[in-house]
Structure 1
Amino acid sequence: MCKIMLLISFVITALLATVQGNADSTITRYTSQVNIDGSYSFDIAQSNGAEHREDGVGGQYAQGYFRHYSPEGKFVQIIYAADENGYQPQSDVLPTPPPVPAHIQRAIEYIRAHPTPEELADQQVRARQL
């Protein structure tokens, strides 16, 4: 029962966060389902085009997306999953790291190709453990 209350509280929090994004926007779609086994889903849409949809099992995993228009008028969408590997968002608007410089990549390849005596000993120990 505690998990269900936690899920309901999460859905309400998500709804309020979505609604607060634009005071002139109204909710045009809202569905929510919380099941006894801990699975849940919700789907929220607003008149300004914002949407948030998610389904999952409380404490185990979740997947979904949220989308809206930025103040600059750009369409923003983030698709995500959350599980034992953490939160994994995917979107064109998320920052990405710069490419690894060629000289650094060469150094990494050299280090991999020329392990130290300690690394070789460690590899031998690990091979015997299998």
Structure 2
Amino acid sequence: MKAAIIFACLLAVAFARPDVSIVRQDADVQPEGYNFDVETSDGTQHASSGVLQNVGSDHEAIAVKGSYSWVDEKTGEKFTLTYIADENGFQPQGAHLPVAPVA
């Protein structure tokens, strides 16, 4: 159910810009996980997979891995963000993101 909600939100974002259309879309939503891959005509790409962990326990949660890429409209530069979202929270990585200093 959670995966379906996430997927619906991503589609809403894709349709928010009327001049952009979906050129490729693959999705597989199962009770214990999902995979999806979407590409729009403006070069935006989003791929994600999630697996339900600790099924049937009080600690049931979805662990997600994915990436999101887009092209900056002003500079034409392509940005890519990879991420993991699990029991340790949302963990994004990308060359354009600032890095905290080592303690």
- Could you tell me the TM-score, scaled by structure 2's length? 0.80
With over 3 angstroms needed to count, the CA separation of the structure-2 counterparts of 1:60 and 1:8, relative to structure 1, is: closer
Within 5 Å, give how 1:1-130 maps onto structure 2: 4=1, 6-20=2-16, 22-36=17-31, 38-58=32-52, 59-72=61-74, 73-97=76-100, 99=101
Aligned residues: 94
Instruction: Give distance in 1, aligned partners of 2:12 and 2:22.
Output: 11
Select the structure of larger CA radius of gyration. Answer: 1
Tell me how far apart the structure 1 counterparts of residues 73 and 39 of structure 2 sit (CA, whole Å). Answer: 18
Pairwise CA distance, 1:19: 3.3
Aligned-pair distance for 1:17? 1.4
Residue 94 of structure 1, CA deviation: 0.8
Gaps of 5+ in 1: 106-130
Matched to 2:39, the amino acid is: A
Deviation readout 1:48-95 (Å, 9 max, x if unpaired)? 110100001242300010101112222110011111111111101112
CA distance in 2, matches of 1:64, 1:90: 11
TM-score by length of 1: 0.64
1:19 and 1:74 map into 2 onto residues whose CA distance is 22
Measured after TM superposition, the shift of residue 23 of structure 1 is 2.8
The 1:71/1:49 distance shift into structure 2, 3 A limit, reads same
Deviation at 1:11, TM superposition (A): 0.1
Between Structure 1 and Structure 2, the one with more helix by share is 1
- Alpha-carbon distance in structure 1 between the residues aligned to 2:24 and 2:92: 24
Give distance in 2, aligned partners of 1:75 and 1:19.
Answer: 21
Identity %: 30
